[in-house]
Amino acid sequence: MTDYKLTYFDMDGGRAEPVRIAFHAAGIEFDDVRISFGEFMKQRQSMRFNCVPLMEIDGVVVTQSNAMCRYAGKKAGLYPEDDVQALYCDEAMGAIEDLLHSIVQTFGLEGDELRTAREKLADGWLSVFLKGLNELLERGGDYFADHRLTVADLKVFGISRWLMSGQLEHIPTDIVERLAPRLVAHERRVAGDPVVAAYYASRAA
């Protein structure tokens, strides 16, 4: 039996969440290691690329969240077999990684510096990527690829929920609704999907 370990921050959401959901959907048991930001800062120099999430498969360490999403997605039947649909899935996941990179650049800032950076982000790259993701849903319909739930939907769902939650200071909570209304309906659709609902029910148990 393959031994899996997934290390990420102690939070629901973020880059590891699609992998957690896909593993749960596939019935794959894994060691869900959740660390604090302080623990991460102490350990990061020993981590490849100084980042999380980290996945270990029988002790072999793997990095890069989109690679993990594809792997776990295939195990769960949540990644397209058709090459074009897989391309669409990868496009959406890649866009989220680019967006997250822009958001992370504002972490650690405080006061007026944070406000200025976040306002610039909201008017700039955040608007660009939200509008782009909205366009991808116009192409795909209810989902980003394969006309069904895939790991791309899980990844976009996480960022949409985060942006609408108010957790990002100085980012308007209505920005998704204003710029990408299709993502609002998509977030609700994914949240109600049996695969996703079952995962969060297991977390609450």
Residues 52 and 87 reside in one and the same domain: no
Token pair in block for residue 56: 């270990």
Residues 33 and 67 reside in one and the same domain: yes
- Given a contact cutoff of 8 angstroms between Cβ atoms, the answer to whether 15 and 8 are in contact is yes
pLDDT of the residue at 140: 79
Nearest to 92 by CA among 152, 170, 36: 152
Structural domain of 150: 83-193
Residues 54 and 24 reside in one and the same domain: yes
Residues 31 and 60 reside in one and the same domain: yes
Residues 88 and 184 reside in one and the same domain: yes
This prediction has a pTM of 0.95
Residues ≥6 apart with Cβ < 8 Å to 57: 2, 3, 4
Residues 66 and 158 reside in one and the same domain: no
In the predicted model, residues of the chain with pLDDT beneath 50 are none
Helix (H) or strand (E) holding 39: helix 37-43
pLDDT of the residue at 1: 85
Instruction: Tell me if 44 is assigned to some domain.
Output: yes
**Can the peptide bond before residue 181 be classed as cis, meaning omega within 30 degrees of 0?**
no
pLDDT of the residue at 205: 83
Residues 103 and 150 reside in one and the same domain: yes
pLDDT of the residue at 170: 96
Residues 128 and 55 reside in one and the same domain: no
Nearest to 4 by CA among 64, 72, 69: 72
Supply the CATH number for residue 126's domain.
1.20.1050.10
Tell me which of 77, 104, 130 is where a domain ends: 77
Instruction: Tell me if 200 is assigned to some domain.
Output: no
Instruction: Tell me if 201 is assigned to some domain.
Output: no
Residues 41 and 141 reside in one and the same domain: no
pLDDT of the residue at 78: 98
